[in-house]
A and B are shown apart, each in its own frame.
Chain A
Amino acid sequence: MKTFSDLLATNLGIDIEITIVPNKGKVEVWINDKQLYNFDMIKTTTLKYQIPILQPINIQVYHSGAYVKSLKFDDWEARPQYGEERPGIWQLITQIPFYQWKHFVTGQGWLLQPNQ
């Protein structure tokens, strides 16, 4: 097991795995500033990507009838509870580091903030 110093020196990331079931037409998938997919999708497709651990996550799927069947962060399944569907776009935005976001949305109670 790492010491506290080791821990801080380790580059940790979050493994993201998104599975999309297409309807017809083009699907465009973005995770933060990375475009992962931008083609006609003809079969269920799983995309994988990793982001730095403290980077807030912004996932956007532009589509015409496809749906996000599964979205895993470090093997934790976020679907179907999390994510927002609007006409032509599905998205999930954490705005804060992922594990802080997960703390809130899964009802883990207070997240104390240091005094400023």
Chain B
Amino acid sequence: MTFQDSFCPSPWFHMRINPAGHYEFCRWADKSNRDSGPNIKDVDPDDFFQNYMQPVRQQLLNGEVLQGCKECHLMEQHGKISGRQRQLLKIGVRVDQFEKTLVSSPWIPIFTNNKFDQMPQDWQIDLGNYCNSACIFCEPAYSSRLATEWKRIGFIDQLPKAAWADNPVLVEKFLQTLKKTPTIKYLHFIGGETVITPAFKIILQALIDQGLNKTATIGFTTNLISWDDEVVELLTQFQGINLGMSVETFTPVNDYIRWPSDLSTVLTTLDRWQTIATMHGWFMQFRTTPTVLSISNLLSVYDYALSHGIAVESCNFLQNPAFMRPSVLPQSYRNNIIAQIRGWANKNRVEAKKIINTRHPDSASQQIVQDIESYVNYLEQEPDQSHRLPDLIAFLKKLEVSRQNCIIDYLPEYENLFRSAGY
């Protein structure tokens, strides 16, 4: 891999804190080993950023390919705009004019300086698992409801560690770092469900008290079944909001995947968010996590998005749980989906130019078409992983006993496939 294909500037201005309070060097980084390493209990955020992350920065400057960056490489392989490409653009670098734009970046003096005293300007903040949803692809660290269910049915022995954001001392420690960063530009929050997580409100209020609401943009993802007037009121005081709305399909399959939501509540809540967002000029996105269960209905989200001027973004191609990857679908089942997506993309494509700034409201429709096409590439090129189907079915059968539902009611077209795998 060339330097142009591996270099990412993200560790010079971005970091993440995960639900248990461990720091991570990137919101897109490999998530296979997240329960170790420096924690906010022991290490200040700026110490981690300036010192502990230095080896990562050096490796990237050396042109090394980091194992933790594989999700971005997979996205680029299939033509999806990767986290790396997004972070490059934030310092003015375009992959199609890499050399000239990199040399022109205002960050060159920082890259070449041995002394690094920057503060994070772009945060990913995982608030913990306080959540009223139990999405089927989620994990206990991100959903308390799922964690409780999984413990009850024996999927896990212990509930996840308490979230750092539930500890007022740690929240205050975190806020001290934010207060030392007057140039902070972006804070992206995820839960659990952000809107009902107390720490979300506390941090928003602290940012407002510090005057950072005048310059910082807040990004957050909500599950479209939650609402809090106080949170909305706080959000309206920020100069920019990226509103991420989680949905998998606009068909009943969404109810099965994002259990126990129901589509009518989702649509009603979506309408409320759209009204507020339009009134205040917020940027709206649907946040999807395409799986083997949703990929055949995914177009319903893009169709809605296109007709309402809303962008669509998924963080990555799902890796875990492995049995839920869209590539678990055998090729014979993929062909019809590929044809549908391709037909839709051909009908709606407006320009061939690649959109890297996926958050420009004027190019939402173009971005939507570009994004859905990455799934055509993925379904065409990713090796058949249908050997994982028995694992999927075993998982669903246990879960359905708890939830009293049946996947065949939602995806009757997969009945033969699922039966052949043990359903």
Binding site for B on A (CB under 8 A): 1-4, 7-8, 10, 12, 14, 53-54, 74, 97-100, 103, 107-115
Contacts and interface: CB of A to CB of B under 8 A. Distances in A.
B13 interface: yes
A1 B104 contact: no
Contact of B3 (A3, A100, A103, A111): A3
Contact of B183 (A7, A97, A109, A113): A113
Q: What size tier do the contact residues of chain B reach? A: 35 or more
A3 B100 CA distance: 14
A10 B103 CA distance: 9
Contact of A53 (B100, B357, B359): B100
Given A3-B62, A111-B106, A115-B121, 15 more contacts: A1-B3, A1-B5, A3-B3, A3-B63, A4-B7, A7-B3, A10-B103, A53-B100, A54-B104, A74-B97, A100-B106, A108-B360, A109-B357, A109-B359, A110-B186
A114 B356 CA distance: 22
B107 interface: yes
Contacts of B13: 112
B291 to A, nearest CB: 29
B385 to A, nearest CB: 32
Nearest to A5: B61
B2 A1 contact: yes
A102 to B, nearest CB: 9
Contacts of B122: 112
Interface in B73-107: 89-92, 94, 97, 99-107
A7 B106 contact: no
B106 to A, nearest CB: 6
Contact of B108 (A8, A10, A74, A98): A8
Interface in B56-75: 61-63
Nearest to A54: B104
A39 B356 CA distance: 43
Interface string B2-26: 1111010000010000000000000
B362 interface: yes
Interface of B: 2-5, 7, 13, 61-63, 89-92, 94, 97, 99-112, 117-119, 121-122, 181, 183, 185-186, 356-357, 359-360, 362-363
Contacts of A4: 3, 7, 61-63, 111
Contact of A1 (B4, B94, B100, B186): B4
A114 B107 contact: yes
B103 A12 contact: yes
A2 B3 contact: yes
A26 B160 CA distance: 78
A9 to B, nearest CB: 10
Contacts of B101: 99, 103
A8 B106 contact: no
B61 A99 contact: no
A108 B185 contact: no
A21 B97 CA distance: 30
Contact of A111 (B5, B90, B181, B360): B90
The 4 closest A-B pairs by CB, nearest first: A1-B2, A99-B104, A109-B357, A97-B104
Contacts of A53: 100, 103-104
B375 to A, nearest CB: 24
Contacts of B110: 114
Contact of A112 (B100, B185, B356): B185
Contacts of B117: 115
A114 B106 contact: yes
Given A7-B102, A114-B109, A107 B92 contact: no
